Structure 1
Amino acid sequence: MNTDTKRAIGRHPAFAVLSAREIRCLQLVAEGMRADEAANVLALSSDEVNEALTGAREKLEASNLMHAVSIAMLMGVIDHTNPHQPK
């Protein structure tokens, strides 16, 4: 199956305007953390993490959080390597 990256990430992705917090929250979700777990890691409230994730989703024009994570991975904004894979 051939995936068209431009189609998958939309016409005008706004990844350049993602804040450092939004990127870090997306990265932690990509690693399998829930928002409350990411909040503990980042020393933020769950509300702050949820606001960052919502902001990232809206900026990336994603239909849901997993779509936002996928877009961020395709664009290289977040790392998609498995942190548990032996090196």
Structure 2
Amino acid sequence: MKTDTKRAIGRSPAVSILSDREIRCLQLVAEGMRSDEAANALVLSREEVNQALVSAQEKLEASNLMHAVSLAMLIGVIDHTDPHQPK
């Protein structure tokens, strides 16, 4: 399945279809956390985090989790700056 990137970053971005939980989970994965680490940070179970990530991946029509993270960055849903870089 190929994602229609124009649809993903067009006038009606997928931002509105992603839940806050899905966005927070994608952000933590983008920062390098594993699902168990994200679960601890968000005070959720690992299964809840995994469900949110799978749901986000499906909503973004991504082929895998890293593709979902990349699309979320492209459409501006999650921040893609390196938190370890000096400002």
Alignment TM class, shorter chain as reference: 0.7 to 0.9
Tell me the TM-score normalised to structure 1 length. 0.86
Instruction: Give the structure 2 partner of residue 6 of structure 1.
Output: 6
- Check whether the contact 2:14–2:60 (CA below 8 A) recurs between aligned residues: yes
- Check whether the contact 1:14–1:60 (CA below 8 A) recurs between aligned residues: yes
Structure 2's unaligned 5+ residue stretches are none
Structure 1's unaligned 5+ residue stretches are none
The two structures, once aligned, show a CA RMSD in angstroms of 1.9
| 1:6 to partner: Cα distance | 2.0
1:63 aligns with 2:63: yes
- Check whether the contact 1:60–1:68 (CA below 8 A) recurs between aligned residues: yes
Quick one: distance in 2 between partners of 1:51 and 1:18?
Answer: 13
1:50 aligns with 2:55: no
| 1:15 to partner: Cα distance | 3.0
In structure 1, give the amino acid aligned to 2:38. Answer: A
Instruction: Give the structure 1 partner of residue 39 of structure 2.
Output: 39
| 1:14 to partner: Cα distance | 3.2
Tell me the TM-score normalised to structure 2 length. 0.86
Instruction: Give the structure 2 partner of residue 73 of structure 1.
Output: 73
CA shift digits 1:12-61 (9 cap, x unpaired)? 86331100000000000000000000000000000000000000000000
In structure 1, give the amino acid aligned to 2:76. Answer: G
Equivalent residue pairs, number = 82
| 1:10 to partner: Cα distance | 7.8
| 1:86 to partner: Cα distance | 0.8
Instruction: Tell which deviates more after alignment, 67-76 or 9-18.
Output: 9-18
